[in-house]
Every structure is written in structure tokens, then in C-alpha cells.
């Protein structure tokens, strides 16, 4: 097959304990999946059906943060309110449609620490105008992701501390067990909307405490059992 220009290379996440990489197909995100975060954003945290948005899956959007390495991301344009959101990332290893909650665990390849960077001012403007969130959520360098650990190594992650610090000061701190929709329920719900396939990843939502970062600050995100990632704003 001939192309007018070279197609982009696949984005591939590191996998702990192997030199093989996990190629990313799609990036799904769950909105407002911790009750306390929903409240801080001005919403009732009743357990309504989850909603989803997407980020781009290219190397301009996904920032690979391998173990032992820090990443630097630029401060994005047209915003004065760049926010951090620490999230558990779930990688799909076996696809399916209309997956049952009780079967969802069998579709998980592994887990990673991720940051859902957000141009909050642009997101709020879009939300108030009833427009899509892409300008606030799907910009370049908006999805730093750490090394994946396979589910066989970690076991199912349905509890454990999740936290984020900025320059060493804790800003977000909660527990995965506080997810409104569990990982398995999220996979089941998402699979009714899209056919999931190997290579898909899901950002599962962020706890309370989101806030701004400015150039020169460093974010350290941690999840129990998965280690940490370090990302500096350039």
C-alpha cells in the first residue's frame, strides 16, 4: 500500500517485566466517577449511568512515562487554568461487545497510573455552551501514562490508595474503592456503546482535589501496587 506521507507509528506503553510493548488502539475516559469530585465540580453524585469521552491515541497526546523516568509536558496554549487529574488506567487485552459485569475482569490486560490533564477553563466554556469537551480534554500532551502492570502480577485492583502531589504537597488522596462505577462495571457499560478491542485503554475517573499547575511545577501520581509517575510542566 502506498501513502502520500508516512503513517504515524503506533503508540506503545511499557509493560513491567518484559521488553514487549502494549500498542494503544483507543483512549476512553469516564467522567465524574468519584462522588466527592462530582460535588467539587458542582454536580449531584447520584449513581446515574456513566458517561464517556475520548482522547487522541497518537504520540502527540499520549505521554509515555516509563519506570524510572520523568516526563516533561509543555503548558498548553489558550488556557490559564491547566488542571491535573490522577486516574487509574485500565488496559484491555481481550475485546468484546455487551460484556457482562461478571465477565469483565477477564478482558483486563493490566493497569497503570495516568494523568488526565485538563484545560479547565476551556472545558467549562464548552460544557456551558453544550459543546463537546475535546478542546478541554483532548489536546496535545494531555494523557501521561506510566508503565503497565499485568493483572496476573497485581491481581484485580478494586481498592488501594490513589494520590497526587504537586512539588511534594499532596493535592489528591482517595481510594480506588470510592469509584462510583467499578472497573468491571465501567468496562461492561462502555462495551454497550463501543466494541472493545485489545489495545483499548480506559481512564477510570479522578478523585477530589483537582487543581491548577503552572510551568516549573512537578506532579507525582501514585496508586498502590502500581508505583508512581512524575511529570513536570515545562
C-alpha cell at 224: 498502590
| Residue 49 pLDDT | 81
CA-CA distance, 111 to 226, in Å (whole number)? 8
Per the structure block, which three cell numbers stand in for 165?
502531589
Which candidate, 211, 192, 184, 18, places its Cα nearest to that of 88?
Answer: 184
> What's the CA gap between 69 and 158, in Å, rounded?
27
Dihedral angle computed from the Cα positions of residues 193, 98, 88 and 74, in that order, rounded to the nearest 10 degrees: -30
Query: Residue range 187-210: average pLDDT?
Result: 97
β-bridge pairing 71-73 and 227-233: parallel
Q: Give percent above pLDDT 90 in the chain.
A: 88
Q: Which residues pair with 211 in a beta bridge?
A: 84
Chain-wide mean pLDDT for the chain?
95
Indicate whether 101 pLDDT > 90: yes
Whole-number percent of the chain with pLDDT over 70: 96
pLDDT 10s digits, 120-173 = 999 999 999 999 999 999 999 999 999 999 999 999 999 999 999 999 999 999
* Strand partners of residue 14: 21
Cβ proximity of 24 and 62 under 8 Å: yes
Q: Whose CA is closest to 63, among 21, 16, 9, 116?
A: 116
User: Once rounded to an integer, what is the mean pLDDT over residues 196-209?
Assistant: 97
Instruction: Give the 3-state DSSP-derived string for the chain, with helices as H, strands as E and coil as C.
Output: CCCCCCCCCCCEEEECCCCCEEECCCEEEECCCEHHHHHHCCCCCCCCCCCEEEECCCCCCEEECCCCCCEEECCCCCCCCEEECEEEEEEECCCECCCCHHHHHHHEEEEEEEECCEEHHHHHHHHHCCCCCHHHHCCCCCEEECCEEEHHHHCCCCCCEEEEEECCEEEEEEEHHHECCCHHHHHHHHHHHCCECCCCEEECCCCCCCEECCCCCEEEEEECCCEEEEEEEC
pLDDT at 38 over 70: no
pLDDT of residue 35 exceeding 90? no
Of residues 34 and 28, the one with the higher pLDDT is 28
Please name the residue that has the C-alpha cell 462505577: 181
pLDDT above 90 for 41: no
Q: What is the pTM of this model?
A: 0.95
Please say whether the dihedral angle defined by the alpha carbons of residues 8, 14, 15 and 19, taken in this order, is positive or negative: positive
Phi first, then psi: what are they for 135, rounded to 5°?
-65, -25
Residue 45 confidence (pLDDT): 64
Amino acid at each position: 500500500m502506498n501513502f502520500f506521507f508516512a503513517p504515524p507509528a503506533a503508540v506503545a506503553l511499557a509493560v513491567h517485566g518484559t521488553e514487549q510493548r502494549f500498542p494503544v488502539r483507543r483512549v476512553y475516559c469516564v467522567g465524574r466517577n468519584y462522588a466527592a469530585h462530582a460535588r467539587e465540580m458542582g454536580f449531584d453524585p447520584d449513581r446515574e449511568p456513566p458517561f464517556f469521552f475520548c482522547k487522541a491515541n497518537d504520540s502527540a497526546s499520549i505521554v509515555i512515562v516509563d519506570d524510572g523516568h520523568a516526563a516533561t509536558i509543555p503548558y498548553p496554549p489558550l488556557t490559564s487554568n491547566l488542571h491535573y487529574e490522577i486516574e487509574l488506567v485500565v488496559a484491555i487485552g481481550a475485546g468484546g461487545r455487551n460484556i457482562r459485569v461478571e465477565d469483565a475482569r477477564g478482558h483486563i490486560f493490566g493497569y497503570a497510573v495516568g494523568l488526565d490533564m485538563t484545560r479547565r477553563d476551556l472545558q467549562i466554556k464548552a460544557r456551558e455552551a453544550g459543546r463537546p469537551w475535546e478542546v478541554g480534554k483532548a489536546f496535545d500532551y494531555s494523557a501521561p501514562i506510566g508503565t503497565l502492570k499485568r493483572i496476573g502480577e497485581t491481581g484485580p485492583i478494586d481498592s488501594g490508595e490513589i494520590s497526587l502531589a504537586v512539588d511534594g504537597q499532596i493535592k489528591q488522596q482517595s481510594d480506588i474503592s470510592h469509584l462510583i462505577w467499578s472497573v468491571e462495571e465501567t468496562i461492561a457499560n462502555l462495551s454497550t456503546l463501543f466494541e472493545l478491542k485489545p489495545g483499548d485503554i480506559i481512564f477510570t475517573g479522578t478523585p477530589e482535589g483537582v487543581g491548577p499547575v503552572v510551568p516549573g511545577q512537578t506532579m507525582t501520581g501514585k496508586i498502590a501496587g502500581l508505583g508512581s509517575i512524575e511529570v513536570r510542566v515545562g
